[in-house]
Chain A
């Protein structure tokens, strides 16, 4: 049994800008969700998500020991911080655009996933 959840339930992330280039990290809260990120949060899906902004290229980098993906999104910022007419010229809000993407999870995985638990668990 699978269900559809927002990526935000199983992952967190941050966006950053340099010139007209945006990067968004997407990080699994729990190791067991890492395969979902790898399989479902593809460069192609992210490129489609931002197509309306005139994105020209998306590259995805995988960091398995951090269970994190890093997306480099070219030309997403409509000219960047000093020329765009947008409200959020830096694209600081845009990590949450990616986190709004829907993913399929096994039902028992979604339940009981409590991102705040064990946040300071000493390894």
Chain B
């Protein structure tokens, strides 16, 4: 792909979703802006650690499921424009079942009379039953978590940008992946477009940085940012999702579609630059070790921040793999106390439940938070709540949480909170309750030779 004009040398890549529950109408403005610029790519990052395990469970129950449940809603409104304007779609919305996601995308294309698309399916991340965990090492951040004590649902390695780039080079219009490193969703199309060499570590680092800043969607354009009077964000109801305008040397500008809400400034970009970063000199990905300590930011226009200075070193020899396994049952139940002496009544409710659990011999993990006093910051022992007092009146919600391998015990505990309606302190109201199973995750480091990233086109043999 040789670009001759200066304008043509710019490659636009946007983000349509930063997590599985993201705003469904956000991709449309991004796609319109990229189309107006002459094409490019849009990425969708919809795969959390737990989401993937849930996808595996869904696929076991129905072999045609296990991909992002909102895939149709995300792609149907934009597929036509993407295909006609030459915008490559890359998403990890394949979750645990990329072939099924590809089949759905082709169905949407058929309905829209777009013909047969070139949909690439990336594989190799699924290591379930393919790796002996005994010979792998725990990822350092999870070393203190307890041993895996439940049935393993799935093991997926974070694979890199190579299969994405190769698929696009041979004509993929849509690339469906399962678990890949989030920034690889952007690095793949950039490698394909600019033809960067695999040994050009600073270019791999730059493309990885593009992906890092884009992959959480609006988190770089004013989402997860507003703090009234300190960090004000215009039109939060219509935050524009980000677009990176990337040059051949890897420098780029982060911006958003014109006419949308949100803001792109040094503050939003700095917050996202450090988001989920540990050592800023060594952000480990399957493709490169990214060093952001030399990154320079400059506001070069309204809602335009130029980013330069990413540096790369060789990628680690191991790949991170996340293991999802069945965990315990989580029960939650809440009740409100308001008005005079409400805090004392809330505390009495907590004491009463503790006593009831002991009396009924329910030996489960439990915790109570008094919302309105101290809750989000507190620990399981209620350390911060101990010193909390009020002026004798308030509006509190007591939130109980119970965890156990035994579903019935959790149900009994939750029912005890419901019984506070009649047997608890005066004036307790608004009980809400739920009991649900949990999936736990822990990450290990897997030698690269055990992982074989690849791709094939939908409708062709893998």
User: Interface residues, chain A, CB within 8 Å of chain B?
Assistant: 8, 12-14, 16-21, 23, 25, 27, 29, 52-54, 56, 59, 61, 63, 65-66, 68, 70, 72, 74-75, 78-88, 93-94, 97, 115-116, 119-123
Contact = CB atoms under 8 A, between A and B. Distances in A.
Contacts of B278: 18, 21, 23, 70, 72
B93 to A, nearest CB: 21
Nearest to B377: A97
A75 B142 CA distance: 8
B298 A93 contact: no
Contacts of A116: 229-232
Contacts of A78: 379-380
B377 A123 contact: no
A116 B226 CA distance: 11
B277 interface: yes
A52 B379 contact: yes
Given A20-B145, A115-B230, A119-B267, A82 B327 contact: yes
Given A18-B141, A19-B141, A85-B365, A63 B293 contact: yes
Nearest to A17: B276
Interface string B129-142: 00000000001011
A19 B443 contact: yes
Contacts of A82: 49-50, 327, 438-441
B275 A14 contact: yes
B271 A13 contact: yes
Interface stretch (B1-9, B105-113, B115-123, B366-374): B366-374
Contacts of B292: 63
A95 to B, nearest CB: 9
B145 A85 contact: no
A43 to B, nearest CB: 14
Nearest to A14: B271
B384 interface: yes
User: For this complex, into which size category does the number of interface residues on chain B fall?
Assistant: 35 or more
Contact of B227 (A12, A25, A72, A79): A12
A70 B271 contact: no
B379 A53 contact: yes
B267 A25 contact: no
Contact of B144 (A53, A68, A75): A75
A38 B147 CA distance: 38
Nearest to B365: A85
A34 B92 CA distance: 39
Interface in B266-280: 266-267, 270-280
Contacts of B231: 12, 115-116
Contacts of B293: 63
Contact of A66 (B273, B399, B403, B440): B273
A70 to B, nearest CB: 5
B375 interface: yes
Contact of B296 (A65, A72, A74, A86): A65
Given A27-B270, A82-B441, A121 B299 contact: yes
B433 to A, nearest CB: 15
Interface in B386-427: 399, 401-403
A8 B230 contact: yes
